[in-house]
Amino acid sequence: MSVSVLLIKILEVMFVAGWAGSAFVLVLTGIEDIGTLLDRKDEDSH
Amino acid sequence: MSSTSNAPTGNNRVRIVVATSVMLTFISYWRAAAVILNDLGSSAFYAGGIAEQAIGKSAPWFVLGVMLFAFAVRAVYVESCSMFVRGGVYRVVKEALGGTLAKLSVSALMFDYILTGPVSGVSAGQYIAGLINDTIAIADARGWVPAAIHRMFHGTPQVGVNATAVVFAVAVTLYFWWQNVKGIEESSEKALWVMQITTVMVVMLLGWSFFTLLKVGGHLPPFPTLANIHYSQESLGFWKHSQLPHMFGILGLIIGFGHSVLAMSGEESLAQVYRELAHPKLKNLKRTAIVIGVYSFVFTGIVSLLAVMLIPDDVRVKVYSDNLIAGLAMYMVGPEVVRLAFRAFVVVVGFLILSGAVNTAIVGSNGVLNRVSEDGVLADWFRRPHKKYGTTYRIINLIVGLQLFTIIVSWGNIYTLGEAYAFGVVWSFVFKTISMLVLRYRYKGERNWKVPPNLHLFGVEIPIGLASVGMVLLSTAIVNLFTKSVATESGLIFSIIFFAIFTFSERVNRRKHADHAAQMTEQFQLQLAESVERETVGIRAGNILVPVRDYNTLNHLKWVLERTDTREQDVVVMTARISQFGTAAYGLSTEQVFSDYEQTLFTRAVSVAESFGKRISLLVVPARDPWSAVAQTAHNLESSTVVGGLSSKITAAEQAFALGSAWEAIPEPKQQFLLQIVQTGGIVDTFRVGPHTPTMKNEDVVLLHRLWLNVTREPGLENIHHHDIVTEALTRFAHDYGSGDHEDIVTQLRRHGTEAGPLPVRRIADQVPTVQPGPRSDRDEEHHDDRSPNPPAGSK
């Protein structure tokens, strides 16, 4: 396996693993965002 | 008595109170979102077209992927802002990785900022040129273009799209260059207005597109698999002759993602507006992030998708790749004239938002370079203020020079510009995210929110979410280095040049600043204060506030000192250190707030005070807006009068209006004060800022008196006072204004307003008669009569 192929494999693993982890970020922050949107007690409308 | 004065302190040094917090006008999350979307939303006009040129018809999936991933990047910014109020790239990287990498990251950020201008200006020009050409083509098809003109152009007359785009981009850049040299103020109001119009366009675009899909049908773009990714010649860069991109499926996804990543440019603005968000800050930041996330996902992502679904393949890339939304407007169902009218609306909106992005690029670059130059990494020469306007014109010239160079070299090629643009975007995010990872272990201060999820193993926190975002960004940035040869070469050259300038300047400045610090220590004693309070400055209520900016124009200070007994009334000389959106995002050290310019300015002010043998207090206030700074300082110090010089840009009445507007934004309770604008020759315009007894015309006073005479003749009304009549009249006015007579009243008031001069000034700050220069003794007498600090003759 050449160095460039190895580098590409590493980048691919990083990208896929990164996206998998980012999916958790999106789901968890999304749930929190819904809570933030529903909580309107401090909201100002200016 | 105040101890803060130019009178020597115990060690013969002049004490200066330096406020370390920027005086800001706080904005709601809607306004903050509008400011960010003016930059972030503008990419919808070109990102989809650029991505499709690079990787083919499946590009919209990548754009949607980027917009989805942008939510995760936003989470990184929310965490950084929960740690540092000014949590931009420079601050975070400096904190985590040190000055060298901070300079490198700022170089990449500068590349992003500077290219925002050309890419936006050229894109707006492409939309305009496209509209002109299509309108002429439609007119020609209907035989509306005269045969002679048709013959002259050997066919349908058309403008050169790229040349028109270059001319337009140069014109817009030069316009905003001049505006920035003059020192225009950014306004969240304007940003909100632009986004309201843009939203109208987006809603119409989406509604009409979905209706068209229902009527004529459409197909989703091919899914992003290796077989469906069609690389263009330019899209593989250094891998043009390599088989690697065709061998690995996931590599293809990374390449596609990398070609679409420019769609999320503008995220840095989130950190820059955080400083100005109203309470509760973190919650409002999250709300802002949600608004911009959803908006840009729908606008940039869905619109790119609809464009591929509705515009036929044979014209989409060939004709509309540089003005995709215009193409979308032309392929809706409906009469051609209506579609053309909607396209014109798209072009107007594009012109507004993209031109705004050109300005944002200049303002943002100026802010970042100001910040680093204040940190000593850019020669002071760059920060020398413009003689007339007081702006950092040399930095603005440098930025605009680079932007004009980029526009002309690219010759309106939006694809090349967009490709290069992605370099700055992705590398500044990489630096930021890696720094945030480092800070998870190194930073021990307050942190109100963390990017989830986080695992705890054997007492060690593993930031899975943050690391994941970093891995996506880093892998994309590395692949981009190979596939975007133009971006890599231009980005590296640019960043290395900027990095070298920063490093060299820093070395030169280090010695100079050491000398300056020693000199300053001998002359001034700085007292740092988080906020401006009367007690901190050590003055009494009813003082006179004298804002100064240019050390060549201190006539108004002389005018005040000539007429004021400083034993009876304190005089405070203040200067506002203006921080724009960019600089407000960063921490301020003493050197940044009190630079050699402020030192020179105060040396002159002290010298003026000494020539009168009078005491003054000195104050430096960092602020986003000079009028807010003056209004808030006058409020905090309980000043009775503000005395300013005449602006070189606006009239005295406009100055009064600006200060009055800033005063209106201060929360209650607040007190009114006098504003006096001293013109050359000692002519003084005086205004009352805030609600006050109006200046009444003689005939109105006579009318009031006659009414009073008549009313008191009525049985049982003998004890009525003049003010009772005014109360009754106002009550009736309020009733009529809220009822059917509203229009009549407004018409009458408009007539009065036209007769009596500019309405805005009268509305907020009523002018009292102009003061002409006169003998000093007269004024001293008036002073005692009116119990007012510097009352002009005839002032009421």
B160-181 pLDDT tens trace: 889 999 999 999 999 999 988 8
Instruction: Give yes or no for residue B766 having a pLDDT over 70.
Output: no
Hey, what are B26's tokens? 């706080």
Domain borders along chain B are 29-502
d(CA B60, CA B562): 70
d(CA B626, CA B621): 9
Residues of chain B with Cβ-Cβ distance to A2 below 8 Å are: none
Of the pLDDT bands very low, low, confident and very high (cuts 50, 70, 90), residue B780 is very low
The phi and psi torsions of B211 (rounded to 5 degrees) equal -65, -45
> CA neighbours within 13 Å on the CB side: how many for A34?
5
DSSP single-letter state for residue B27: B
Q: Does B246 reach chain A within 8 Å, measured CB to CB?
A: no
d(CA B388, CA B649): 9
Of the pLDDT bands very low, low, confident and very high (cuts 50, 70, 90), residue B328 is very high
What is the number of helices (H) and of strands (E) in chain A?
1, 0
Query: For the residues of B2-17, what is the DSSP string, one character each?
Result: ---SSS--TTS-EEEE
What are the tens digits of pLDDT across the range B544-566? 999 998 887 888 898 898 888 88
What are the tens digits of pLDDT across the range B274-296? 877 877 888 889 999 999 999 99
Place of tokens 């105040």: B2
Output the CA torsion sign for B227, B231, B237, B241: positive
Of B395, B359, B469, nearest in space to B121 by CA: B359
d(CA B527, CA B344): 57
Place of tokens 């690079």: B54
Q: Which residue has the higher pLDDT, B15 or B622?
A: B622
Q: What integer pLDDT is reported at residue B795 of this predicted model?
A: 29
Where does B29-502 sit in CATH, by number?
A: 1.20.1740.10
Tell me if residue B23 falls in helix, strand or coil. Answer: strand
Question: Which of B30, B250, B469 is the closest to A25 by Cβ?
Answer: B469
Per-residue pLDDT, averaged over B338-360, amounts to 91
Asked if B260 and B47 count as a contact pair (C-beta separation under 8 A), the reply is: yes
Q: Quick one: B507 exposed, middle or buried, by C-beta within 10 A (0-12, 13-18, 19+)?
A: exposed
| Cβ distance of A22 and B468 shorter than 8 Å | yes
Per-residue pLDDT, averaged over B336-362, amounts to 90
Residues of chain B with Cβ-Cβ distance to A18 below 8 Å are: 467-473, 475
Q: Which residue has the higher pLDDT, B608 or B301?
A: B301
Tell me if residue B560 falls in helix, strand or coil. Answer: helix
Tell me if residue B240 falls in helix, strand or coil. Answer: coil
Instruction: Give yes or no for residue B425 having a pLDDT over 90.
Output: no
Q: What integer pLDDT is reported at residue B10 of this predicted model?
A: 42
Place of tokens 């102009």: B770
> Does the N-terminal peptide bond of residue B245 adopt cis geometry, omega within 30 degrees of 0?
no
Of the pLDDT bands very low, low, confident and very high (cuts 50, 70, 90), residue B586 is very low
Tell me if residue A18 falls in helix, strand or coil. Answer: helix
Q: Closest Cα of chain A to B285: distance in Å? A: 10
Testing the interface with A: which of B468, B476, B483 to mutate, by most A Cβ within 10 A? B468
Hey, what are B401's tokens? 């020079």
Q: Worst-scoring range by mean pLDDT, B71-75, B144-148, B384-388?
A: B384-388
Output the CA torsion sign for B423, B425, B426, B429: positive
Instruction: Give yes or no for residue B788 having a pLDDT over 70.
Output: no
Q: What integer pLDDT is reported at residue B590 of this predicted model?
A: 55
Instruction: Give yes or no for residue B11 having a pLDDT over 90.
Output: no
Residues of chain B with Cβ-Cβ distance to A14 below 8 Å are: 471-472, 474-475
Q: Which residue has the higher pLDDT, B511 or B566?
A: B566
Q: What integer pLDDT is reported at residue B185 of this predicted model?
A: 62
User: Identity (one letter) of the amino acid at B68?
Assistant: L
Q: Does A27 reach chain B within 8 Å, measured CB to CB?
A: no
Instruction: Give yes or no for residue B651 having a pLDDT over 70.
Output: yes
Hey, what are B328's tokens? 């979308």
Instruction: Give yes or no for residue B589 having a pLDDT over 60.
Output: no
Asked if B563 and B29 count as a contact pair (C-beta separation under 8 A), the reply is: no
Q: What integer pLDDT is reported at residue A43 of this predicted model?
A: 56
The residues with which B462 forms a beta bridge, in sequence order, are B455
Q: What integer pLDDT is reported at residue B189 of this predicted model?
A: 80
| Cβ distance of A29 and B470 shorter than 8 Å | no
Q: What integer pLDDT is reported at residue B723 of this predicted model?
A: 87
What is chain B's Cα-based Rg?
A: 30
Query: Over B502-536, what HEC string results?
Result: HHHHHHHHHHHHHHHHHHHHHHEEEEEECCCCHHH
Of the pLDDT bands very low, low, confident and very high (cuts 50, 70, 90), residue A1 is low
Dmax (CA) for chain A in angstroms is: 61
Axis crossing angle, helix B249-260 with helix A3-38, rounded to the nearest 10:
50
Q: Worst-scoring range by mean pLDDT, B242-256, B292-306, B667-681?
A: B667-681
> Which element (helix H / strand E) includes B675?
strand B673-678
Q: Closest Cα of chain B to A36: distance in Å? A: 7
| Cβ distance of B453 and A28 shorter than 8 Å | yes
For B30, B196, B269, the CA distances from A43, given in Å and listed in that order, are 10, 20, 21
Length of chain B: 796
Output the CA torsion sign for B645, B650, B652, B654: negative
Of the pLDDT bands very low, low, confident and very high (cuts 50, 70, 90), residue B428 is confident
Contacts of B22 (CB under 8 A, 6+ apart): B275, B579, B584, B588, B622, B623, B624
What are the tens digits of pLDDT across the range A9-43? 999 999 999 999 999 999 999 999 888 888 766 65
> How does the average pLDDT of chain B come out, rounded?
82
For B13, B52, B591, B726, the CA distances from B526, given in Å and listed in that order, are 9, 57, 10, 52
Question: Which of A8, A18, A25 is the closest to B251 by Cβ?
Answer: A8
d(CA B467, CA B471): 6
Q: What strand order describes the sheet that includes B641-645?
A: B524-529, B14-19, B617-623, B571-578, B544-547, B641-645, B673-678, B684-689, B765-771
For B272, B486, B565, B740, the CA distances from B361, given in Å and listed in that order, are 13, 21, 48, 49
d(CA B621, CA B529): 10
Q: What integer pLDDT is reported at residue B374 of this predicted model?
A: 64
Q: Does A21 reach chain B within 8 Å, measured CB to CB?
A: yes
